[in-house]
Amino acid sequence: MKVILPALLFIFVLSSVSAQSVSADTEKTKTGPLVIQPVKHASLLLTTKGTTIYVDPSGADNFKGMAEPGIILITDIHGDHFDPKTIAAIRTAHTLIIAPQVVADKLTDIDKDHLVVLKNGDKTTQAGITIEAIPMYNLPESDKAMHTKGRGNGYVLNIGGKRIYISGDTQGIPEMRSLKDIDIAFVCMNLPYTMDVKEAADAVLAFQPKIVYPYHYRGQGGLSDVKGFESLVNGGNKKIEVRLRNWYPAQ
């Protein structure tokens, strides 16, 4: 018994560790493979041609053992998107940060050569990747909304001919619904901060990405019903691939 118990404990620990990790997905592009690594909540990694893009990195421990960030992409000033301590821990001397002005104003220790400020409608090309900032906001529009129009950015990236949409914190706004030719989308759904599952599914059915990842789906009431989201999307369009991944492994 003294031998078996530690062995069982060891197996349990290994199982727990492996359950915490989310497998990466790989998509073909004209310039080589694109590796998509879900991390947690709003955080994800995109790797292509030796460049790794960190989207809204939060919690330095979540990125241990991962490639160094060539680009850090930040959508908004809220703490689950903009985490200065994590940025300080993970960035290197060569990391480029792309962010809206409200975030850039807080990055006083970043020199201008390593910071690109984008407002809604702006574009930049870095390492062969085109990045366009688009609106993200709550409806109805209000100066008192948690996410006001023009403050933060959603993003559309073009990587090797693949168009990738990252929603940030938003509702199913006209700018989302009118998107064209999106190959991969990351769409939020958490009340009361963004939108519910039904609104998210309706918006996705409007712009019809080839692949959609529900992400950023933890709200005040717990985790959103992503299975329900999948059913609504596929009930309206079976050609859209809904990829359910565990963005909250500890819950």
**DSSP result, 18-30:** HHH----EEEEET
Domain range for residue 59?
23-242
Instruction: For residue 6, tell me if it sits in a domain.
Output: no
Give the integer Cα–Cα distance in Å for 52 and 96: 11
- List residues bridging with 34 in a β-sheet: 27, 48
Provide the residue-wise pLDDT of the chain in tens; the chain has 251 residues: 333 333 333 333 333 333 346 899 999 999 999 999 999 999 999 999 999 999 999 999 999 999 999 999 999 999 899 999 999 999 999 999 999 999 999 999 999 999 999 999 999 999 999 999 999 999 999 988 999 999 999 999 999 999 999 999 999 999 999 999 999 999 999 999 999 999 999 999 999 999 999 999 999 999 999 999 999 999 999 999 999 999 998 76
> For residues 45 and 159, is the Cβ–Cβ distance under 8 A?
no
> For residues 76 and 168, is the Cβ–Cβ distance under 8 A?
yes
pLDDT for position 21:
65
Rounded to two decimals, the pTM is 0.91
Give the integer Cα–Cα distance in Å for 163 and 185: 9
**CATH code, domain with 189:** 3.60.15.10
Closest C-alpha among 91, 84, 88 to residue 66? 91
Determine the 3-state secondary structure of 3 from DSSP. Answer: coil
pLDDT for position 114:
96
pLDDT for position 251:
60
pLDDT for position 11:
32
Per DSSP, the residues of 106-159 read T-TTS-GGGEEE--TT-EEEETTEEEEEE----SS--TTSSS-TTTS-EEEEEE
The number of domains in the chain is 1
